[in-house]
Chain A
């Protein structure tokens, strides 16, 4: 049985390390916050100008001046700090954030990422996604393996790119792939979700890949 959204988030959380500063995208990546291992000090960054995001406020305690990048009301923690957008993206572009986990429309076998526009549809903008993938040390894509039955992991993206050769790892409902951002293209299947066969994976993946299943997931 493929992984649920929560299973995917839990798998992504295994990539966290104690002391990490992490930026989580909107959607499934948000769920990763629920799976931070106990005892780990992981600080979440919000690109609108905050480090140390707390949980949603209790009803009646919402503060219009305290929101995350999804514009939702949140709270601060004893560790929190606030800063302006230029410093926030200095942090991101300057390589100070350890990990970015975000969603995708398409990922190329070469590590290209497309997640901001579909030609012919209303374009809302890239927000901070291009800066995040260009600057953060490690980029993990968390996505459903297919969309409308069509593979999203392809030899190369057909949609306009968010970044070229920026993805280190893809975690989907079917398994985990590792990619190379430099040197020759390398797409390696390292884990299969329980009950997913190699044949299933080949059928639902648009690109050819190497197989290096280290252990049962």
Chain B
């Protein structure tokens, strides 16, 4: 049986159930698996725990699953761009576990690499470390954090081959590669699909062993931009337009 499925609904068939833990890739709206999120919304599956750096915006990304109340708990580092999220959280309808971004990334990486826990200095002396085991190494204090392994990972890649080897593009890579390694089933939505052998094997980011199912984005797939910032052309440029962030 091949790894390529005809659409997002087919690619998720048989793997969704209430109460499951889902890794969802992306940073802001960059590199999010929007097709697969829409298919999860359409499935009606609920009480989800979603691990994702952010929670989308009101009308895109995970914001769609918040609107339909399919998410019970988020594990994230920053959720500032979503009014519906704030409303549900303040009303006590949604649980949130904040993780420092690097700790979140490492927890997922560890989960996929068979490492149940690790020690980090991030968060030592803050609320994040409360109730967690700490230990001294070489005279410094570190806090123990657990790996996370999910039931399902949904990721977005730029290219895939039919073996499931994945290549990401620019900053759309972010959390996708670790998440692809850290779930019982990983489903990748990809912008381009090629035959095995057509990707340079030296340039593959996620080896095919991690990718169970693939769905190709339709030609009209819209990659949203959250904060469109531009500079003027040189003739008109005056003042500080070299703002990298």
Contact = CB atoms under 8 A, between A and B. Distances in A.
B177 A84 contact: yes
Given A49-B27, A134-B123, A135-B121, A126 B225 contact: no
Interface string B157-190: 0100000000011111111111000000000000
- B-side binding surface: helix, strand, loop or mixed? loop
B231 A58 contact: yes
Interface in A58-81: 58-59, 61-74, 76
Given A47-B101, A65-B169, A84-B176, A55 B231 contact: yes
B59 interface: no
Contact of A130 (B126, B169, B233, B242): B126
A16 interface: no
Contacts of B28: 48, 67, 71
Contact of B53 (A85, A92, A129): A85
A56 B243 contact: yes
Contacts of A70: 227, 245
A50 interface: yes
Contacts of A126: 77-78, 98, 100-101, 128
B-side interface size class = 35 or more
B30 A55 contact: no
B245 A84 contact: no
Contact of A73 (B105, B125, B169, B228): B228
A201 interface: no
A135 B124 CA distance: 11
5 contacts: A55-B241, A67-B227, A74-B229, A86-B106, A89-B102
Interface of B: 27-31, 53, 76-81, 86, 89-90, 98, 100-106, 108-109, 120-128, 158, 168-178, 205, 223-233, 240-245
Given A125-B80, A130-B103, 15 more contacts: A33-B243, A50-B170, A56-B244, A58-B233, A64-B172, A64-B223, A69-B245, A71-B29, A72-B228, A86-B106, A86-B108, A92-B102, A124-B79, A126-B98, A130-B126
